């Protein structure tokens, strides 16, 4: 007791040298001769690189290659008079993000703010058409409105989830037409729009196949088990580009004259088959992480195998591997650029096409850096979300 009091009374302030800016500097940059040396070397390199980058970005680079081809880079050859359909699909997405922000807050809020800031910046850059500016403004409005609505009631959770599930079919309806609107065939899809569509559709389509393969691999029926193992290991053993070649060049041969698929669909099939094998391994990891007691408890409750899987095992297994799956999505999103090798005009393909145009000779760096920047923003956002999810789900912590 007494002892305690004396310590509190005589507690000294930390020495001047360990607080404040000089303290921080000493601790983090100059703690010993080795650190000091590193700091000096890295400062020189950093100044050199930052200065070089700054000069290039703001003075040397010819950004007109991006500004003049902005529409091509974003949506490719999509007809101008039908562009409202892409905007509508985007607006539905924005509204859903906004409402989810209101309902769940947290990470969704960060995503919304990111989306809003990107839209706001795009809106004020000088080369954007007036129509696009109006759409962007409306989208920002939707984001805020969605937040306001979502904040009002917790009951919206289920409708919003349903909305997310319906987003892809509705979005596809607007973009493709499905016979009700004027059909915009896949030949006209291009640029960033094509990148996103290939990524999203193959991710969704590979989900059921991946889960079935994961279950198949753990099955005790030998034929099913070996089929799954051979499929998964074969696909994981070969590069994506060979899978794409098979889908692009050999699929028409294998399917014969009976079934005709266009280029974009074939690429999507290739990505789906590829992604399914990787997803299966993720899901299998989740299944293996579950203790046996979960299976036994479900059996003790009298659930049959299908019910046990859908209501007890799968929800837990999938939850455990959400971060791993987001990682897989990021990598499949980045890998979509490979379609430019097999002749599709995605974001990278469009950039290559533009620099082949004599008018934009010598602007390779600007075009590719723009492509890289777009991917960087989205992948960084996704990995940020994945890290937060990991923390909030409490997986990966011991």
In the set 264, 338, 344, 345, which binds another protein (CB under 8 A)?
338
- 168-227 residues near another protein, rule: CB under 8 A: 221-224, 227
Q: Which CB, 271 or 375, lies closer to another protein?
A: 375
Q: Does residue 229 belong to the site contacting another protein (CB under 8 A)?
A: no
Look at the block and give the residue holding tokens 């100044």: 47
- Least distance CB 241 / another protein (angstroms): 5
Q: Which CB, 184 or 371, lies closer to another protein?
A: 371
- Least distance CB 312 / another protein (angstroms): 22
Q: Does residue 242 belong to the site contacting another protein (CB under 8 A)?
A: yes
Q: Which CB, 205 or 372, lies closer to another protein?
A: 372
Distance between CA atoms of residues 89 and 175, nearest Å? 7
Q: Does residue 249 belong to the site contacting another protein (CB under 8 A)?
A: yes
Distance between CA atoms of residues 107 and 97, nearest Å? 11
Q: Does residue 129 belong to the site contacting another protein (CB under 8 A)?
A: no
- Least distance CB 143 / another protein (angstroms): 24
In the set 67, 245, 290, 390, which binds another protein (CB under 8 A)?
245
Q: Does residue 308 belong to the site contacting another protein (CB under 8 A)?
A: no
- The H or E element spanning position 64 is helix 64-68
Distance between CA atoms of residues 365 and 68, nearest Å? 16
CA distances from 189 to 67, 88, 148, 204, 295 (A): 20, 16, 34, 19, 47
- Least distance CB 239 / another protein (angstroms): 4
Distance between CA atoms of residues 306 and 299, nearest Å? 11
Contact 89, 171 (CB under 8 A): yes
Distance between CA atoms of residues 393 and 389, nearest Å? 6
CA atoms within 13 A on the CB side of 262: 7
- 21-40 residues near another protein, rule: CB under 8 A: 27-29, 31, 35, 38-39
In the set 240, 313, 354, 385, which binds another protein (CB under 8 A)?
240
Q: Does residue 72 belong to the site contacting another protein (CB under 8 A)?
A: no
125: three-class secondary structure by DSSP: coil
Q: Does residue 121 belong to the site contacting another protein (CB under 8 A)?
A: no
Q: Which CB, 86 or 240, lies closer to another protein?
A: 240
Backbone angles phi, psi at 345, to 5 degrees: -100, 75
SS (H, E, C) 200-253: HHHHHHHHHHHHHHHHHHHCCCHHHHHHHHHHHHHHHHCCHHHHHHHHHHHHHH
Distance between CA atoms of residues 296 and 218, nearest Å? 16
- 350-379 residues near another protein, rule: CB under 8 A: 352, 355, 362, 364-365, 368-369, 371-372, 375-376, 379
In the set 151, 218, 334, 353, which binds another protein (CB under 8 A)?
334
Q: How many residues does the chain have?
A: 398
Query: Applying CB under 8 A, which residues contact another protein?
Result: 27-29, 31, 35, 38-39, 42-43, 45-46, 221-224, 227, 234, 237-242, 245-246, 249-250, 253-256, 258, 330, 334-335, 337-338, 340-341, 348, 352, 355, 362, 364-365, 368-369, 371-372, 375-376, 379-380, 383
């Amino acid at each position: 007791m007494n002892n305690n009091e004396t310590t509190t009374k005589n507690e000294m302030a930390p020495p001047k040298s360990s607080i404040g800016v000089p303290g921080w500097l000493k601790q983090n940059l100059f703690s010993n001769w080795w650190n000091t040396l590193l700091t000096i070397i890295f400062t020189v390199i950093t100044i050199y690189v930052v200065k070089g980058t700054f000069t290039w970005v703001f003075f040397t680079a010819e950004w007109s290659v991006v500004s003049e081809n902005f529409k091509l880079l974003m949506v490719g050859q999509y007809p101008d008079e039908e562009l409202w359909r892409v905007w509508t699909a985007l607006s539905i997405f924005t509204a859903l993000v906004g409402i989810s922000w209101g309902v769940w807050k947290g990470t969704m809020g960060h995503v919304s703010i990111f989306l809003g800031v990107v839209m706001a910046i795009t809106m004020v850059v000088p080369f954007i058409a007036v129509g696009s500016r109006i759409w962007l403004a409306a989208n920002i409005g939707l984001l805020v409105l969605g937040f306001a609505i979502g904040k009002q009631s917790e009951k919206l959770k289920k409708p919003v989830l349903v909305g997310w599930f319906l987003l892809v079919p509705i979005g596809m309806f607007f973009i493709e037409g499905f016979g009700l609107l004027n059909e915009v065939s896949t030949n006209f899809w291009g640029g960033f729009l094509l990148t996103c569509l290939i990524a999203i559709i193959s991710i969704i389509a590979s989900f059921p196949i991946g889960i079935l393969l994961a279950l198949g691999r753990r099955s005790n029926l030998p034929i099913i088990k070996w089929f799954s193992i051979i499929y998964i290991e074969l696909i994981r053993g070969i590069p994506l580009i060979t899978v794409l070649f098979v889908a692009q060049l050999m699929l028409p041969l294998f399917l014969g004259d009976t079934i005709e698929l266009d280029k974009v669909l074939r690429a999507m099939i290739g990505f789906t088959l590829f992604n399914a094998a990787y997803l299966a391994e993720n899901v299998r990891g989740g299944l293996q992480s579950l203790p046996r007691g979960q299976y036994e408890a479900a059996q003790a409750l009298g659930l049959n195998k299908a019910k046990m899987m859908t209501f007890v095992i799968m929800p837990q297994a999938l939850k455990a591997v959400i971060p791993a799956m987001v990682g897989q999505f990021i990598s499949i999103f980045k890998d979509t650029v490979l379609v430019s090798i097999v002749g599709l005009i995605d974001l990278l393909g469009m950039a290559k096409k533009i620099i082949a145009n004599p008018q934009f000779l010598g602007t390779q760096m600007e075009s590719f850096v723009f492509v890289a920047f777009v991917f960087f923003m989205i992948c960084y956002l996704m990995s940020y979300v994945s890290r937060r999810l990991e923390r909030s789900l409490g997986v990966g912590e011991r």
